[in-house]
Structure 1
Amino acid sequence: MELSLAHPVIKAFMCGSLSGTCSTLLFQPLDVVKTRLQTLQGGVQPGSGRVGMVTVLRSVVRTERMLGLWRGVSPSFARTIPGVGIYFSTFYSLKQHFCQDSSPGALQAVLLGAGARTVAGVFMLPVTVIKTRFECGRYRYRSVVGALRSVCRSEGPAALFSGLMATLLRDVPFSGIYVLFYSQTKASLPTEISESSCAPLANFGCGVLAGVLASLITQPADVVKTHVQVNPQLRTVEAVRYIYVEHGLQGFFRGAVPRSLRRTLVAAMAWTVYEQMMNRLGLKS
């Protein structure tokens, strides 16, 4: 009995891990640009919107070549492969337990997404801290394992959980809002579309819409999280004060364009691939 219960969860973990791997490899450059915009690296003074993105993009390519756009991809993989797997397997388990065979309602969708993200976010936070430091360009770590050892030795293990509150304030609402909009927009699709060969493309479109809304709502928490993890001596409240004093309210939306693009595309692709793989394995996602 235990094996039969665990088996679908393991499949959900594998499907989630594969979907996260594909999306991370494709969209890592957007995460690098977002982190550089938020931490003002290399003397770049980004403007707003597209101009800021282009300026930082050129700066990274000029100083670090094209491979610089994939800085931090190793910790991204170290976080994404198990992290997305944990998220989707937790989501699947919670959905089977609380919703059984019925589709989740609006409130249930929010709670399912938020619960799954809380578990995955806390578990993978140390790797998230290392990933942020890789991307910002201030730290010259050679490997994920070496970075973990360096932080523990020089700053103490607690530094690996810096930005926990800001991370949860960003990721938990994002996931809850995303699942809410995604599930509701997908449920509103006409039957002839949801059951046709165009269903994956339609689901991807629903994911894009949900991702844009969720990203914009949670952008301020992402900026705070980045500052706390790059400067571990800052606490969440201090980071909020610093951003406001230095940059004003607009500072909380620095890097919103690349983050919205990346989070939207990553989430939409991950959910589309996950659901298609689960359907092929005969499991209801």
Structure 2
Amino acid sequence: MELSLAHPAIKAFVCGSFSGTCSTLLFQPLDLVKTRLQTSQSGMQPGSSRVGMTSVLLGVVRTERLLGLWKGISPSFVRTIPGVGIYFSSYHSLKQHFFQDSRPGAAQAVMLGGGARTVAGVVMLPITVIKTRFECGRYSYVSVSGALRSVCRSEGPAALFSGLMATLLRDVPFSGIYVMFYSQAKASLPQEISSSPSAPVANFSCGVLAGVLASLVTQPADVVKTHVQVNPQLRTTEAVRYIYTAHGLEGFFRGAVPRCLRRTMMAAMAWTVYEQMMAHVGLKS
């Protein structure tokens, strides 16, 4: 079946998967650096040396070569291609069902973004767990399928859903806040810009602003989620206490710079590409 004849939800899925694939390929190194920063043992004790983004980046290149910055790209793709597709398909379906004839307000945008992320987050959590373990450098997994078998055999299938609460506490607010700021910023653009050839650039700028704000608000939950998925014996509350004891309040913002850069640029690019593709196939995003 040609894309032009496909169901709108399928079109949204294909557009979202393509946009997520492009952004993941470009910004995977930032995600790896963020994970290494959050799970590094340096800085655990008072007076110990801090590990910075640059030192982690150079360390990866020195020990694993340049391609080491894309370690974990396989599970990232396995998660992104269906995951972002599910997210945008869910978002489009929810929007068409509840707001087909009206523009969602700020509160409605939060619910749309949060609802779509909940669906995608739960479905793709096992791949997210494997991706996090690939990136942290503590596990010697060779492939995604091998990692899945290893986790199920040694820790049980439940380990594939470790960090579910922390993941939802991070991703649902991020998506809701992002969609709210993004939609409101776009609505404030002059009509001549929204309908001009420079619209993608304006949309991308709106996405960057929304991404920065949403990333900062949800950074603590991202740190907790990473610790729980790397150390599955930790519960969410135990991870919170551990991070606070080892690092203090600033520990909840470890890896904030690479995550903010990655999430902001990925979300901005994904939404810009998605909206352009949706317009190309004749659908409103």
TM over 0.5, yes or no?
yes
| 1:132/1:230 contact within 8 Å kept | yes
Aligned-pair distance for 1:42? Answer: 8.1
Task: Give, in whole Å, the separation in 2 of the partners of 1:158 and 1:145.
Answer: 16
How has the CA–CA distance of structure 1 residues 46 and 257 changed in structure 2, closer, same or farther, with 3 Å as cutoff?
farther
Specify the code of the residue in structure 2 equivalent to 1:171. D
Q: 1:246 corresponds to which residue?
A: 246
Residue 101 (structure 1) aligned with residue 118 (structure 2)? no
Matched, 1:272 2:272: yes
Aligned 8 A contact 1:223 1:253 in 2: yes
1:1-285 aligned within 5 A: 7-40=7-40, 47=50, 52-285=52-285
Q: Distance in 2 between matches of 1:21 and 1:206?
A: 21
Once residues 270 and 41 of structure 1 are traced to their aligned partners in structure 2, the CA distance between those partners, rounded to angstroms, is 33
How far has the Cα of 1:103 moved from its partner?
A: 1.4
Q: Deviations over 1:48-76 (max 9, x none)?
A: 8xxx1101000100111111100100000
Deviation at 1:188, TM superposition (A): 0.2
Encode CA deviations 1:161-183: one digit per residue, 9 max, x unaligned.
00000000000000000000000
**Alpha-carbon distance in 1 for matches of 2:42, 2:67:** 17
CA contact (8 A) 1:37 1:46 kept: no
How much has 1:102 moved relative to structure 2?
Answer: 1.7
**Pair 41,33 (structure 1): closer, same or farther in 2 beyond 3 Å:** farther
| Letter matched to residue 153 of structure 1 | R
Q: Which amino acid aligns with 1:94?
A: L
Runs of 4+ in 1 over 3 A off after TM superposition: 41-48
Secondary structure of the structure 2 residue equivalent to 1:104: coil
Q: Which amino acid aligns with 1:167?
A: T
* Structure 1 contact 46–53 (Cα < 8 Å) conserved: no
Q: Which amino acid aligns with 1:55?
A: S
Contact 2:33 2:53 in 1 (8 A): yes
Q: Matched residues in 2 for 1:70 and 1:154: separation?
A: 26
- Take 1:77 and 1:220, find their aligned partners in 2: how far apart are those partners? 25
**Percent identical across equivalent pairs?**
82
Describe the shift of the 1:73–1:42 C-alpha distance in structure 2 as closer, same or farther (beyond 3 A).
Answer: farther
Q: CA deviation at 1:47?
A: 3.8
**Structure 1 unaligned spans of 5+:** none
**In structure 2, distance between residues paired with 1:103 and 1:34:** 36
Kindly provide the CA deviation profile for residues 74-101 of structure 1, in whole angstroms up to 9, marking residues without a partner as x: 0000000000000000000000000003
TM-score, structure 2 length as denominator? 0.95
Report the Cα distance in structure 2 between the residues aligned to 1:145 and 1:42, rounded to whole angstroms. Answer: 31
Equivalent-residue separation in structure 1 for 2:156 and 2:43 (angstroms): 30
Name the CA distance, whole Å, in 2 between partners of 1:41 and 1:25: 28
CA distance in 2, matches of 1:5, 1:154: 46
Give the AA of the match of 1:200. P
Q: Distance in 2 between matches of 1:244 and 1:43?
A: 12
SS in 2 for 1:282: coil
Partner Cα separation in structure 2 for residue 257 and residue 47 of structure 1: 15
Displacement of 1:5: 11
Counterpart-to-counterpart distance in 1, 2:128 and 2:49? 24
Q: Distance in 2 between matches of 1:101 and 1:46?
A: 57
**In 2, Cα distance between equivalents of 1:42 and 1:125:** 28
1:135-191 alpha-carbon deviations (Å, 9 max, x no partner): 000001011011000000000000000000000000000000000000000000001
Unaligned runs of 5+ in 2: none
Amino acid at match of 1:14: V
Q: Give the SS at the match of 2:220.
A: helix
Task: Tell me, in whole angstroms, the C-alpha distance in 2 between the residues paired with 1:85 and 1:220.
Answer: 26
C-alpha displacement of 1:237 = 0.2
The 8 Å contact of residues 41 and 136 in structure 1, kept in 2 or not, is answered as: no
Asked whether the 8 Å contact 2:208–2:268 carries over to 1, the reply is: yes
**Which is worse superposed, 37-46 or 163-172?**
37-46
Q: 2: distance between equivalents of 1:256 and 1:282? A: 38
